[in-house]
A and B are shown apart, each in its own frame.
Chain A
Amino acid sequence: MIKNLLCADFLKIKRKGFWFLTFLGPFGVVALQMVNYGVRKDYLLQQSNDEWGYYILNVSTFTPLALVLGVVILTSFMTSVENETNAWKQLIAFPVTKISVYLSKLTVLALLLFISSFLLMLFTLGFGMILELQGQIPYGKLLKHSFYPYFAVTPVLALQLWIAIVSKNQGVPIAVGVLGVILTYSAYLLPDWMIWKWPSLINEWDEPLINVLLGVGVGSLLYIIGMFDFVRRDVK
């Protein structure tokens, strides 16, 4: 059942700009460094002996912001596909469970964001090579900075999806989303427990893996709560 729903959901996101956004996010993040390194490459190379490490760090300054922005926009697009002509009633009057409908939506979003993260890795690597940075390519670090934020953003994804799916007024998820983007932008100032801080991979213990594990744990919890709330409610 879930496979069928996934196929249908991938069909429904055609021509809606989902794939373009999936590409635009990581491209934008690396493009900022193209500008940065284009303007003041010599200065930047002097900042550290570890040219690759410093470059990856620069790229990842904007990763959390792009990721949270992507989550907000994609979840909103995703639910608007069904909200537009109130297709929820048609979808759920099919022989499917509400649990699988919800899971399918989440899976599509998670897959798109995963592709984004993968593209981020490719683009980062590609532009780094074009820059002819000195030293060994730190693949471990590259992987970490491309995929850790992806896992750490899970709670934001679960929360946005939940709000977007159950809200009658789509202003609510947009408002929460904008607030989330602002919070992500000010991650340095936030206490460690706030989920919008997690994609930045910063915490008191200086251990990014904590954000990843917390992200997946709390994200799953929020996902389950949202799903049961969706199941419990009458269809819009």
Chain B
Amino acid sequence: MEYILETKELTKRFGKEEAVSKLDMKIKKGEIYGFLGPNGAGKTTTIRILLGLMKPTSGSIRIFQENLDTERISILKRVGSLVENPSYYPHLTAYENLEASRKILEVPKARIQEVLNIVGLSDVTNKKVKGFSLGMKQRLGIANSLMNNPELLILDEPTNGLDPSGIIEIRNLINRLANEAGITILISSHLLSEVDQLATTVGIINKGKLIFQDSIDVMRRYAQQSISIKVNDSEKARNMLFSNGIKTNYENGRILLPELADMEIAEAIRILVESGVSIYRVEEEKRSLEEIFLQMTREEEDD
């Protein structure tokens, strides 16, 4: 399998503390990779290393099948990025900010207006960034990351500090970039809900270690935890099921069946119907992804 970005045993130590620990990150072309982890997990550190802002203590990075250590410049020509809080020059206008980047990147002048249109800042082109709201600064940061028409976009918590409508706006923007322009996107967040509707793949980092990395569908499968049944006589129902070899739990007036295959659930229902119990409701109890995420990061802590 060809990966657009691949790290091997990536490690970064600050003194004794290991901020990133043997990270094997794999991103395929066209994916939106949600890079999740609680505060201090090592997301920013990883991203800084991926951009060559920090040297890893050990491990290797390949981006576009090239070694970052030796081909940094040619790789970065095809990468756009936004690290932590957006950087900008407050005394310059939005246009001038992008012009400064344009000069370095050697792209045509027309690109400035293009990216301003993409992020919806075209009516403040000639306003000083000093007076921008946080959301506007964030969008300017994204505009800046798009200047060089990147194939890979690396965004570190691009929705940090934004209000709900700002978050949705950025989310839609990222979706558009991925779907219309076919850009591969790595986006970090400490909230699963922020990348939930966005990511195609999820990597979860906790205390520097990647504890989960797979498609969002696999992650969702964890969510279908149990079937809950509400009946008129719970006592009788549970006894009937138990005598047929099906163990159940009881919670808030509902019988909980642990994760079972479709046929087994059909069997359980048949038993109940035949024993004359009235079934009011059969529901799938979904744990939210957020709960799974929290549980995953908590389990690590218990180790």
Contact surface of A with B, Cβ cutoff 8 Å: 4-5, 7-8, 11-12, 14-16, 81, 84-97, 234-235
Task: State in angstroms the CA–CA spacing of A88 and B51 once bound together.
Answer: 12
Q: What are the residues of chain A within 8 A of B72 when measuring CB–CB? A: 95
Q: Are the CB atoms of B53 and A85 closer together than 8 Å?
A: no
Query: Does B242 lie at the interface of the complex (its beta carbon under 8 Å from any beta carbon of A)?
Result: no
Q: What is the bound-complex CA distance between A194 and B75, given in angstroms?
A: 45
A96 CA / B106 CA spacing, docked (Å)? 12
Residues of chain B contacted by A8 (CB below 8 angstroms): 100-101, 103-104
Instruction: List residues of B whose CB falls within 8 A of some A CB.
Output: 48, 51-55, 72-77, 79, 81, 83-92, 96, 99-101, 103-106, 141, 144, 148
Query: Given B77, B87, B103, which contacts A89 in the complex, CB threshold below 8 Å?
Result: B87
Say yes or no: B104 contacts A5, CB within 8 Å.
yes
CB distance from A110 to the nearest CB of B (A): 20
In the complex, which residues of chain A have a beta carbon less than 8 angstroms from the beta carbon of B54?
234-235
CB neighbours of B81 from chain A (8 A):
90, 93
Chain B nearest Cβ from A92, distance in angstroms: 6
Which of B76, B89, B103 is in CB contact (< 8 Å) with A85?
B89
Please give, as numbers and ranges, the residues of chain B lying within 8 Å of A16 by CB-CB distance. Answer: 91
Q: Which listed residue, A12, A90, A95, touches B77 by the CB 8 Å rule? A: A95
A-B contact pairs, 16 of them (CB 8 A): A4-B103, A4-B106, A8-B100, A8-B103, A12-B89, A14-B92, A85-B86, A85-B88, A89-B53, A89-B87, A90-B144, A91-B87, A94-B76, A234-B53, A234-B54, A235-B53
Q: How many angstroms from the CA of A15 to the CA of B100 in the assembled complex? A: 14
Q: A229: shortest Cβ distance to chain B, in Å?
A: 14
Nearest 8 Cβ contacts at the A-B interface: A87-B87, A95-B76, A90-B87, A235-B53, A234-B54, A93-B51, A8-B103, A95-B77
Given the interface pairs A11-B92, A81-B89, A86-B87, the reply to whether A92 lies near B52 with Cβ below 8 Å is yes
